[in-house]
Every structure is written in C-alpha cells, then in structure tokens.
Structure 1
Amino acid sequence: MPLIASADTARANRRRGTAADGVSFWHTLYLGTSRYNMPPGTPDPAADALFPMAFLVEQDPGSTAQSHFHQQDQFQLVVGGSGTLGLHDVRPVTVHFTGAHTAYGPIKASTDKGVWYFTLRNGFDPGAKFMTKPENRAELRAIPGRRHREAVAGPLAPPTVPTETLLGPEPDGMSAWRYALPPGARITGPDPATGRGQYWVVTSGDLLCGGEALPRLSCAFVYPDDAPFDAVAGTDGVEVIAMQFPLRPH
C-alpha cells in the first residue's frame, strides 16, 4: 500500500545539515532514511532494492551546491525560493529528473530566500559524489554503459487544464504529471505497474487520501504493485505533481 507523509508530521524531523561541499541547509525527512539521520554503523540498504527516500531541502540563501551525481534515479521538485540548477532557472513549481550516475548542477540558491526542493528517490543513496574530486570523476567514467539522462519541466505557469503531462512518458515509464482540481474532485492516477514507483506531492491546496487530510508539501509514494493512486481534492482544491520512475532493464 502507498506510503503517506503529511507535511505536518514531517515538520518534527526538520534539522540543520551541512553537505560535503560545505553548503548548509535545513533537511526535513519525509520517507525512508538518509545519511543525515542514520545511526552510526547502520548498514546501507542494498543499492538494487526498492527503497523510497523523500526529504525536503531548504538550501541557504546565496549558497551553491557543487555539481555531483548519485547512484540512484532521482526527482527534484522545487517548491520554494528560486535559483538555478545547471543552466535552468528554477522556482516553484519546477520538476527535475536525473538518471543514476548522471552529473548535474551546480544548484545556486537566490540571495534572498534560498531555494527549497524535494529530493525523491526509489532506492537508497549514500550521498552526493562531487565532481570536484578526481576519484569521483574517474568512477563516473568507469561505469559501463553509463549515459547522461536529465529532464526538466518548468517553472510551470498556472494550470489551465485539470491534468497535463509534464515529462514523458518515456518508453521505460519515466513520466511526470500535474493535476489541478476543484474541491471534491477525485484523482485516479496512472497504472503504477508501468514504472518503478510514483511520488505524489501536494504543491497547493490539500488532498484527502486514505482517510487522511494532506496539506501543502505532503507526499505519498506508490509502489509498482499498488493499485492506482486514489484521492480526493480537499476543501481548497488541490494542485499535485505526480512523478514516476523508470523501469530498470532486465
């Protein structure tokens, strides 16, 4: 069944963090775990296991996170502030996808409000590998069959239709959609079996899901063998972004 994380509940997990490149930020864990809250000595989950990780980063104003890569596929969803991500201007709402072992960035936060973004993964990742280190560049070059994979949608204009496709759908299932619905309208998501997990993030209004009211900046993870995501727009209506990970080659 889906994993659900209310923004109200997740707020208790908000902590200060500092990345290996020296950038400081607020880190709020929603689902899974990360290296910022794992007890020392905890073994990493298997890299090929389906392991949802979701957290919100509030990157400090004026800071720059250096270009890096991860071992997992990843969506990032910009929900506050503004800045640049590589060559892209980002502000709410921007969807960014990078495939595993794809270097991206830098992420430069604006000097007034910084930049806020969800980091969403379907597998455990031990942390960023920065391209400023020669050993990380060498590791990336040595990965057989590696290809650079990156896609971005946004910053999005205000919605004009109830449902729209933002990314894809790619042959392996990688996709992203936006739903913008009035109070009481029902959402039935795409078949999750076409990808390797879906995240749903409330970017405006509220959503009723599984008997729980989910305010803005709440999220849910839908497993590939779950039924399609089913929810109802709350009393203020809702805007929600759905992001589906690609299937892995057999």
Structure 2
Amino acid sequence: MILEQPRGVATDNVRRRLIGSQALLISRLGDIMYLRSLADKQRREVEFHGEVFGHTDLISSVDGPDAPHAFVVDQPSGTVIPTHFHAINQFQVFLTGDGTIGRKPIAPVTVHYTNAFTGYGPIVAGQHGLRYLTLRPRHHAESKAQVLPGAREAQHAAPRRHRLGTVAADKPRDHSAVDEQILVPREDDGLFASYLSVTPGHILKLPPCGGSGRFLLLFDGSFSFHDVVSHPVTCVYLAPDERPELEAGGKGAQLLVLDYPSKVADARL
C-alpha cells in the first residue's frame, strides 16, 4: 500500500492560518485540509444518559459548516454508554484504557467503524477507563447519538455495517522503512483502515483514498506535514485526491490511516 516519495519541497500554493496554537492548511487549488492537535485544547464535561464524560473538540462546526468532526472522549471507569446509532458514518479509535464494545474487548489501539444508522454498543469502560476519538467526515446536529431501542423509528433502513480491528502490539517489526498492519481490509466502496510504523526521517506518500475522505491520526512519535511539525495526538482530515508528503520525526511516527467509504451516508439522505 505504501509508496515511497523522494525528498521534495511542499506544495508552493499552500498558505497557513493559525487558529490558536493549531494550523489550518488551505490549498489554493480549493481543497481544505484540517490539522488539529490535542495539545492546548479545552476539555469540558458533558452528560449523556446519566453519566458524565470528558469531551475535547479537535475539529468542530466552528471550523466551518462543511468541516469534519473530531473529538476526544474520556470515559471514566465503570461507566456505560448504551447501545445507540448515529446518522453518519464514523470511525472511533480507542487509544488508552480497557473495556468492551458489545461483547468485544477493547485494547489499545483499537479501530471501530460503523455505517450511518448502524447500532453498536454498549461501550463499557473497565478498571482503567477509556480514552478514544470519534472521527466523522462532517459535523451536523443530526449526528447526535440515538439510543436504542427507544430511537428505533428514527433508524433509517440503511445498510448496516461495523468493523473492528486492533493493532497487534507484539507483532515483530520487519526491516522496511514502513511497517504496516491492515486493521480493516479495503472494501469495494473504499472503506479501509491500517496502522503504520514509520522509521525516523522517512518520507512517504500515501496512495489515493479509495472513498469519500481520509483521516490520518498520529498517536506516537511525530511527523512534519507541509512544514508543520505534529505531535500526539494529532488528526488530519484530507479530501479524496489529497496525497501529502509525511516525514517522520527523530523517533519515528506511528499513525492510523482511516478511509471512509465512497457513499457519504448521513442524515440528509
């Protein structure tokens, strides 16, 4: 999957705006790339179904009406998020802690994908709690959680799909510059997820996204992206035809590649 890119210069037609301490990269060609880091972001408490959770927005509606949506959830030990669905396709990435989703155990780092209107859960936080990201290709009010079975009438007759994959922490590393683990094998409509471990200083260029958009999630090490150096936890949202160069930092980089399916399923269908 990985294509090696010779060392080069970042695209000339890119200008950078600073929003707080973060960078929003805007291509003159018309595509918008969103890059956000958890550092310096404000955490707040939210209540859902009688439980209190930590919530930190990385990308939200303040970034524009068509912006993607990315946020971190800190779920305390022993709390439960009941079975529910959303009216939009989404990835979740479980970074730390322990627990279960449905009957499946959660261990770092686990990737979970669901189609719009696909029910999943409950999510139960274990002894060490859970920290995870929710990543959606756009932000709109109708993507809020709909708890089942009470919201069954709002659950459209859309194709159901969920996928789960966990990074094998004990897998021996090969001797290549990029070690890849496929977490969700590529499907006909472009859905795909993989884990990449990149050696220090290596420059790579990802192949085109086969679906409607892509998140990159850096959770260890660092990389430079259009001259912006990113550290954990950083997410980047890319349009399907955007193929940025990524240069791993001095300690390498560990990241996830998360491709949405080509059908942009959401509440507006």
Give TM-score scaled by structure 1 length.
0.84
Q: In structure 1, what is the equivalent of residue 44 of structure 2? A: 15
Name the aligned partner's letter for residue 162 of structure 2: E
Count how many residue pairs are aligned between Structure 1 and Structure 2. 227
Structure with the bigger percentage of strand: 2
Q: In structure 1, what is the equivalent of residue 76 of structure 2? A: 60
* Aligned partner of residue 262 in structure 2, secondary structure: coil
Q: In structure 1, what is the equivalent of residue 247 of structure 2? A: 232
Residue 215 of structure 2 is aligned to residue 199 of structure 1: yes
Name the aligned partner's letter for residue 107 of structure 1: I
**Identity within the alignment, %:** 28
Alignment of 1:1-80 (within 5 A): 1-8=32-39, 11-19=40-48, 21-33=49-61, 51-80=67-96
Q: 1:129 aligns with which of 140, 146, 152?
A: 146
* Aligned partner of residue 41 in structure 2, secondary structure: helix
Q: In structure 2, what is the equivalent of residue 188 of structure 1? A: 205
Give TM-score scaled by structure 2 length.
0.79
Structure 2: state its 5+ residue gaps.
Answer: 1-31
Q: In structure 1, what is the equivalent of residue 194 of structure 2? A: 177
| Aligned residues of 1:7 and 1:214 also touching (Cα < 8 A) | no
Name the aligned partner's letter for residue 214 of structure 1: S
RMSD of Structure 2 on Structure 1 (CA): 2.1
Structure 1: state its 5+ residue gaps.
Answer: 39-43
> Shift of residue 88 of structure 1?
1.2
Name the aligned partner's letter for residue 120 of structure 1: L
| Aligned residues of 2:167 and 2:195 also touching (Cα < 8 A) | no
| Aligned residues of 2:95 and 2:132 also touching (Cα < 8 A) | yes
* Aligned partner of residue 200 in structure 2, secondary structure: coil
Larger CA deviation: 24-33 vs 96-105: 24-33
Name the aligned partner's letter for residue 165 of structure 2: A
> Shift of residue 13 of structure 1?
2.2
Q: In structure 2, what is the equivalent of residue 41 of structure 1? A: none
Q: 1:157 aligns with which of 142, 163, 169?
A: 169
> Shift of residue 207 of structure 1?
1.4
Consecutive aligned runs of 4 or more in structure 1 exceeding 3 Å deviation: none
| Aligned residues of 1:190 and 1:229 also touching (Cα < 8 A) | no
| Aligned residues of 1:94 and 1:156 also touching (Cα < 8 A) | no
